[in-house]
């Protein structure tokens, strides 16, 4: 299952994205990085980030330099999962399973919980709900 | 706008195949690699580290660094053993530098304000849009009001390109807090009397000094590695330490003698010292005869300032003043009066500063071992640039050092005879603040000029680092200024209360992720040091030079940024100095070796070269330039404010692991100190029913107040309270610092020194009550 990327941006969505994930004022930012949730000092670019980077490298891909995203940004990780799902080989399936069970399952629920608390507008609420279902369902499938 | 330029929260993250193209084998990674919590640590599997050189941005001492990286990530900061600012040592702040880069709260993407100014509603935009908008808005202001309507406030070791951009734009209104909010009166004192700059990285021969008379220079807690190291070695070598401070600081605890001097009265004590040194002929007669003018006049002027006069003012016993003067003279010239670094306290800081310079001069410490050494300079020419509109605005320093140049004194009025505007803050302007440094300006007065739109409209503001709210002392003026300008663009690494008001927010790469212009310094060795990137910039951040170059290109100012990259600029400058970027990158620092003959000329039969701003080739104990302006009255003592019985002097200062208002949100430094507390004497606490840890309210005479926890301690005078500077953040984006402690800046005085225009922050009187 893949979401069709939405290409019509509006200011409301962008402002909401900023409020939720970047500058957050007046709330605490819902940090979209695995490292933030997995490292004891909430540091970004932690070992968890590098582990994802290495996993990507194993499959011959990396985060685009001009994307402004870290490898463990939620966008990067979900896209990694989508990429793996599109590959028809055992190794990709194995990595996908590892990623979901041993990595995503450790931080995405915390991220989703924080996102729900930030009272997001419907677009991001739906994304949160979708993400919440995605992890267990993909874990079953893969 | 094409979708390519648009910030796209869900855009494709992947570039595609890695350079290798083929998938790497899974061997070498433990099967549990992605389970962070179960991942076994296997040092054998770690990749090799690479090493680059840099200099620190955590405080203004700027220690030399060696930064190790592994796998595209900076992992360890060490000192560069070759750098004279720290000789390989890095402090807690320096170590915490990694968390500047890895902070979850750092600014990550260019942002555009969409709500009311200061409301905190933003949308992420592309760099192209951010730069286009900034250029367009600045040019709009220029067209309507002229180039002088732009103000630039910079505060960081990377602010230099912003100053160049503003000067190229044509405004004289560029400023850094270093003068008006910090070291101004001290720098000016040494400049006026000796023609010397004695701040930034102080040229004090700490190791060989035999007698430190320290006027609240809290050298152990301000913690500048090279300075602390030198002082500790001096003490180990047998120096005597006499320390003055209303608070028993860590430095006080290491002193041989400690005086809890009455706040704001250092000047009275110093004048009495001068009186004794002159009347008892304790001065260096040879030095005075050869190098000094104005001695007889000074002698007349200080006759009334006897130790007996000073005793009731300062609470330092007259007999001790006489004894200290004699003790010092016996050790001279390997002695000095150690000035506070920030000298913005009383209603006459300039007088205090000059009395320190005078005492040091009477003891003949200049160019002597154990006194003040003469630094060497590594000559690294600036790049060739077209003339700037405002010659006085041309910043000549390198890497943000406090290099004081002789101010040119322009005419009265807001414009000169050619129609060029003088500085709006009045720095270097006759009839306003003629002796204030026109390169650094008076940041406090620049805020006022913006808030009041006087003496002429300032309609655009650009800030590079800094935090007007927490480093200045009048929230109303800062807020009004930020709300009044037509356009405000802020660049910084971290969010804060000031850049919350920006229309466009530009995220800077941290100092671990970039090149910057060279650090050119003068110590016993002359040196030039390089800052190299230890990793690629995280998120969507860029370095100051690139941002300024890209803005310059969009405003028709490319001629002022003639290089294609900062690396090219560095190579250009270094080649002019007989080296190259490739060469300096191997070692981090190039040096001219220390030379005792040059550092201590008077110990080696040499001469001291003096040139004061007044044109004298001898030290002017009473600077002629000041006499012409009637400013020599600053030499005389001015009565200071006194608290009523239920009030306290409000004091603040440093701690070893925080700098300014910029490290409180760093989780590593915050781990050492999360919030500040109010130091109050046990008797005063008991009177108010205050116990250790109680929440108390501090309020000043203007009705400003804050709530803070009490630290009940006999380590402070009964008439004084103290708090560590930089806390009391209210920006909710700073999730660690937000709501922790109280901002001294909202309690300190915003009066100004009547001669310099710098702030007199220590004049504030406060009450304390239990909440």
Residue B13 to residue A57, Cβ atoms within 8 A: no
In this complex, is the C-beta atom of B24 within 8 Å of any C-beta atom belonging to chain A? yes
Q: What share of chain B in percent tops pLDDT 90? A: 84
**pLDDT, tens digit, for every residue of A26-76?**
677 899 999 999 998 899 999 999 999 999 999 999 998 878 899 999 999
Q: Are B716 and B655 in the same domain?
A: yes
Indicate if the pLDDT at residue B223 is higher than 80. Answer: yes
Domain contains B71: yes
- Please compute, for residue A81, the number of CA atoms within 13 A of its CA located in the half-sphere on the CB side: 25
**pLDDT, tens digit, for every residue of B721-753?**
999 999 999 998 999 999 999 999 999 999 999
Residues of A in contact with B72 (CB under 8 A): 53
Residue A98 to residue B33, Cβ atoms within 8 A: yes
Averaged pLDDT score across all residues of chain A: 88
Q: Are B97 and B118 in the same domain?
A: no
Enter the tokens of residue B9. 């929260």
Q: Are B309 and B328 in the same domain?
A: yes
The pLDDT of residue A7: 52
Indicate if the pLDDT at residue B37 is higher than 60. Answer: no
pLDDT band at residue B406 under the 50/70/90 scheme: very low
Q: How would DSSP label each residue in B312-339?
A: HHH---HHHHHHHHHHHHHHTTSEEEE-
Q: Which residue of B has its CA nearest to A105?
A: B35
**pLDDT, tens digit, for every residue of B274-329?**
999 999 999 999 999 999 999 999 999 999 999 999 999 999 999 999 999 999 99
Residue B24 to residue A5, Cβ atoms within 8 A: no
Residue B39 to residue A26, Cβ atoms within 8 A: no
The pLDDT of residue A104: 94
Residue B101 to residue A45, Cβ atoms within 8 A: yes
CATH number of the domain within which B277 lies: 3.40.228.10
Residue B124 to residue A22, Cβ atoms within 8 A: yes
The pLDDT of residue B402: 39
Indicate if the pLDDT at residue A24 is higher than 90. Answer: no
Residue A65 to residue B123, Cβ atoms within 8 A: no
CB of B392 within 8 A of CB of B385? no
What is the largest distance, in Å, between two alpha-carbon atoms of chain B? 87
Closest partner CB to A18 (pick from B26, B35, B111): B111
Q: Are B85 and B146 in the same domain?
A: no
In this complex, is the C-beta atom of B330 within 8 Å of any C-beta atom belonging to chain A? no
**pLDDT, tens digit, for every residue of B677-705?**
999 999 999 999 999 999 999 999 999 99
The pLDDT of residue A23: 81
CB of B402 within 8 A of CB of B200? yes
Q: Are B82 and B166 in the same domain?
A: no
CATH number of the domain within which B79 lies: 2.20.25.90
CA distance B232 to B191: 28
In this complex, is the C-beta atom of A124 within 8 Å of any C-beta atom belonging to chain B? no
Domain contains A22: no
**pLDDT, tens digit, for every residue of B108-127?**
999 999 999 998 899 999 99
The pLDDT of residue B11: 43
The pLDDT of residue B602: 97
Residue positions counted in chain A: 142
Mutate to test the interface with A, among B7, B72, B95, B104 (most CBs of A within 10 A): B104
Domain contains B167: yes
Q: Are B344 and B267 in the same domain?
A: yes
CA distance B638 to B633: 10
Residue A54 to residue B33, Cβ atoms within 8 A: yes
CA distance B189 to B215: 15
Domain contains B332: yes
- Please compute, for residue B513, the number of CA atoms within 13 A of its CA located in the half-sphere on the CB side: 23
Task: Find residue B595's DSSP bridge partners.
Answer: none
Q: Are B631 and B677 in the same domain?
A: no
Residue A79 to residue B37, Cβ atoms within 8 A: no
Domain contains B488: yes
Last residue of a domain, one of B82, B102, B122: B102
CB of B69 within 8 A of CB of B50? yes
Domain contains A36: yes
Cβ partners under 8 Å of residue A31, min gap 6 = A21, A37, A42, A44, A111, B104
**pLDDT, tens digit, for every residue of B377-388?**
999 998 888 888
Q: Which domain holds residue A49?
A: 27-62+69-141
Q: Which domain holds residue B721?
A: 648-770
Q: Are B195 and B249 in the same domain?
A: yes
CATH number of the domain within which B717 lies: 2.40.40.20
Number of inter-chain CB pairs under 8 A, A vs B: 174
Residue B38 to residue A58, Cβ atoms within 8 A: no
Closest partner CB to A26 (pick from B17, B26, B732): B732
CA distance B544 to B140: 23
Higher model confidence: residue B216 or residue B394?
B216
Domain contains A38: yes
Domain contains B673: yes
In this complex, is the C-beta atom of A9 within 8 Å of any C-beta atom belonging to chain B? yes
Which residue, B435, B352, B404, B397, is CA-closest to B197? B404
Q: Which residue of A has its CA nearest to B736?
A: A28
Domain contains A14: no
Q: How far is A22 from chain B (nearest CA, A)?
A: 7
**pLDDT, tens digit, for every residue of B424-481?**
999 988 888 989 998 899 999 999 999 999 999 999 999 999 999 999 989 999 999 9
CB contact burial B399-438 (16+ within 10 A = b; e otherwise): bbbbbbbebeebeeebeeeeebbbbbbbbbbeebbbbbbb
- Region B228-236 average pLDDT: 97
Domain contains A20: no
Averaged pLDDT score across all residues of chain B: 91
The pLDDT of residue B311: 98
In this complex, is the C-beta atom of B639 within 8 Å of any C-beta atom belonging to chain A? no
Count structural domains, chain B: 4
CATH number of the domain within which A33 lies: 1.10.3480.10
- Region B751-764 average pLDDT: 96
- Please compute, for residue B754, the number of CA atoms within 13 A of its CA located in the half-sphere on the CB side: 12
Domain contains B196: yes
Regarding beta strands B526-529 and B519-522, do their DSSP bridges make them parallel or antiparallel, or are they unpaired? antiparallel
In this complex, is the C-beta atom of B323 within 8 Å of any C-beta atom belonging to chain A? no
In this complex, is the C-beta atom of B730 within 8 Å of any C-beta atom belonging to chain A? no
CA distance A21 to A115: 9
Q: Are B671 and B747 in the same domain?
A: yes
Residues of A in contact with B21 (CB under 8 A): 60
**pLDDT, tens digit, for every residue of B13-32?**
543 333 333 222 222 222 22
**pLDDT, tens digit, for every residue of B632-666?**
999 999 999 999 999 999 999 999 999 999 999 99
Higher model confidence: residue B344 or residue B17?
B344
Q: How far is B238 from chain A (nearest CA, A)?
A: 43
Q: Are B227 and B134 in the same domain?
A: no
CA distance B429 to B745: 27
In this complex, is the C-beta atom of B103 within 8 Å of any C-beta atom belonging to chain A? yes
Residue A69 to residue B500, Cβ atoms within 8 A: no
Residue B735 to residue A27, Cβ atoms within 8 A: no
Interface of B with A in 461-520 (CB under 8 A): 495, 500
Q: How far is A118 from chain B (nearest CA, A)?
A: 14
In this complex, is the C-beta atom of B122 within 8 Å of any C-beta atom belonging to chain A? yes
Residues of A in contact with B37 (CB under 8 A): 38, 106
Domain contains B668: yes
Interface of A with B in 53-112 (CB under 8 A): 53-55, 57-70, 73, 75-76, 79-80, 83, 91, 98-99, 102-103, 106
The pLDDT of residue B24: 25
Domain contains A18: no
Q: Which residue of B has its CA nearest to A60?
A: B23
Domain contains B521: no
In this complex, is the C-beta atom of B102 within 8 Å of any C-beta atom belonging to chain A? yes
- Region B583-601 average pLDDT: 97
Q: Are B615 and B667 in the same domain?
A: no
In this complex, is the C-beta atom of A131 within 8 Å of any C-beta atom belonging to chain B? no
What ipTM is given for this predicted complex? Answer: 0.90
Mutate to test the interface with A, among B9, B100, B118 (most CBs of A within 10 A): B9
Cβ partners under 8 Å of residue A141, min gap 6 = none
Burial class (CB in 10 A: 0-12, 13-18, 19+), A101: middle
In this complex, is the C-beta atom of B129 within 8 Å of any C-beta atom belonging to chain A? no
Q: Which residue of B has its CA nearest to A67?
A: B13
**pLDDT, tens digit, for every residue of B546-578?**
999 999 999 999 999 999 999 999 999 999 999
């Amino acid at each position: 299952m893949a979401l069709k990327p939405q290409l019509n941006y509006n200011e409301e969505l962008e402002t909401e994205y900023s409020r939720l994930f970047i500058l957050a004022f007046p709330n605490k930012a819902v940090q979209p990085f695995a490292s933030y949730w997995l490292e004891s000092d909430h540091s970004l670019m932690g070992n968890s980030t590098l582990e994802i980077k290495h996993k990507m490298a194993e499959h011959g891909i990396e985060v685009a330099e001009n994307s402004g995203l870290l490898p463990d940004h939620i966008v990067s990780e979900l896209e990694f999962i989508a990429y793996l799902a599109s590959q028809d080989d055992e190794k990709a399936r194995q990595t996908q399973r590892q990623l979901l069970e041993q990595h995503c399952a450790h931080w995405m629920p915390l991220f989703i919980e924080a996102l729900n608390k930030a009272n997001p507008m419907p677009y991001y609420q739906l994304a949160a709900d979708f993400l919440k279902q995605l992890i267990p369902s993909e874990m079953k499938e893969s | 706008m094409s979708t390519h330029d648009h910030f796209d929260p869900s855009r494709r993250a992947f570039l595609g195949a890695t350079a290798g193209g083929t998938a790497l084998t899974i061997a070498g990674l433990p099967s549990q690699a992605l389970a962070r919590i179960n991942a076994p640590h296997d040092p054998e599997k770690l990749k090799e580290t690479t090493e680059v050189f840099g200099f620190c941005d955590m405080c203004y001492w700027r220690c030399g660094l060696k930064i190790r990286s592994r796998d595209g990530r900076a992992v360890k900061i060490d000192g560069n053993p070759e750098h004279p600012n720290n000789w390989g040592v890095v402090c807690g702040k320096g170590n915490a530098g990694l968390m500047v880069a890895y902070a979850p709260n750092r600014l990550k993407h260019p942002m555009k304000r969409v709500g009311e100014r200061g409301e905190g509603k933003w949308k992420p935009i592309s760099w192209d849009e951010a730069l286009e908008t900034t250029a367009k808005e600045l040019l709009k202001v220029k067209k309507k009001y002229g180039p002088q309507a732009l103000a630039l406030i910079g505060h960081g070791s990377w602010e230099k390109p912003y100053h160049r951009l503003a000067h190229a734009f044509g405004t004289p209104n560029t400023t850094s807090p270093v003068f008006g909010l910090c070291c101004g009166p001290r720098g000016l004192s040494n400049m006026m009397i000796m023609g010397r700059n004695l701040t930034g990285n102080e040229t004090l021969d700490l190791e060989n000094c035999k007698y430190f008379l320290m006027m609240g220079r809290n050298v152990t807690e301000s913690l500048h590695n090279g300075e602390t190291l030198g002082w500790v070695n001096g003490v180990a070598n047998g120096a005597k330490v006499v320390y003055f401070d209303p608070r028993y600081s860590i430095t006080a605890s290491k002193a041989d003698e400690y005086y809890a001097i009455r706040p704001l009265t250092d000047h009275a004590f110093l004048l009495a010292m001068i009186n004794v040194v002159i009347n008892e002929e304790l001065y260096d007669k040879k030095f005075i005869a050869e190098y000094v003018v104005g001695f007889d006049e000074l002698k007349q002027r200080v006759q009334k300032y006897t130790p007996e006069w000073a005793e009731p003012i300062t609470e330092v016993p007259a007999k001790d003043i006489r004894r200290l003067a004699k003790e010092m003279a016996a050790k001279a010239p390997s002695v000095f009066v150690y000035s506070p670094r920030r000298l913005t306290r009383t209603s006459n800081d300039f007088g205090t500063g000059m009395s320190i310079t005078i005492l040091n001069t009477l003891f003949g410490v200049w160019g002597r071992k154990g006194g003040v050494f003469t630094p060497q300079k590594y000559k690294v020419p600036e790049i060739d640039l077209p003339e700037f509109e405002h010659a006085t605005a041309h910043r000549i320093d390198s890497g943000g050092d406090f290099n004081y140049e002789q101010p040119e004194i322009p005419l009265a009025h807001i414009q000169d005879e050619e129609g060029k505007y003088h500085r709006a803050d009045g720095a270097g302007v006759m009839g306003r603040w003629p002796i204030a440094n026109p390169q650094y300006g008076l940041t406090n007065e620049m805020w006022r000029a913006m808030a009041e739109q006087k003496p002429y409209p300032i309609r655009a503001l650009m800030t590079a680092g800094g935090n007007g709210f927490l480093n200045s002392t009048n929230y109303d003026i800062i807020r009004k200024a930020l709300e009044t300008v037509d356009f405000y663009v802020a660049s910084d690494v971290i969010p804060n209360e000031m850049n919350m008001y920006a229309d466009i927010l530009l995220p800077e790469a941290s100092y671990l992720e970039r090149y910057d212009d060279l650090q050119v310094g003068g110590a016993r060795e002359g040196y030039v040091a390089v800052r190299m990137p230890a990793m690629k910039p995280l998120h969507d951040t860029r370095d100051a030079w690139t941002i300024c170059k890209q803005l310059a290109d969009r405003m028709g100012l490319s001629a002022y940024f003639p290089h294609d990259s900062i690396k090219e600029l560095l190579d250009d400058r270094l080649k002019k100095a007989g080296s190259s970027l490739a060469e300096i990158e191997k070692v981090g620092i190039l040096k001219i070796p220390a030379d005792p003959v040059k550092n201590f000329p008077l110990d080696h039969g040499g001469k001291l070269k003096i040139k004061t701003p007044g044109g004298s080739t001898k030290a002017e104990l009473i600077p002629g330039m000041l006499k012409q302006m009637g400013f020599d009255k600053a030499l005389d003592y001015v009565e200071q404010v006194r608290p009523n019985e239920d009030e306290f002097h409000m004091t603040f200062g440093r701690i070893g692991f925080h700098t300014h208002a910029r490290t409180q949100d760093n989780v590593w430094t915050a781990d050492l100190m999360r919030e500040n507390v109010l130091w109050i004497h046990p008797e005063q606490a008991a009177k108010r029913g205050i116990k250790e840890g109680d929440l108390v309210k501090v309020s000043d005479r203007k009705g400003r107040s804050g709530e803070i926890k009490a630290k009940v301690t006999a380590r402070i005078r009964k008439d004084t309270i103290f708090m560590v500077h930089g806390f009391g953040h209210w920006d909710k984006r700073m999730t660690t610092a937000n709501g922790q402690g109280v901002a001294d800046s909202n309690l300190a005085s915003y009066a100004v020194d009547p001669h310099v225009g710098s702030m007199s922050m220590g004049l504030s009187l406060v009450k304390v009550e239990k909440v």
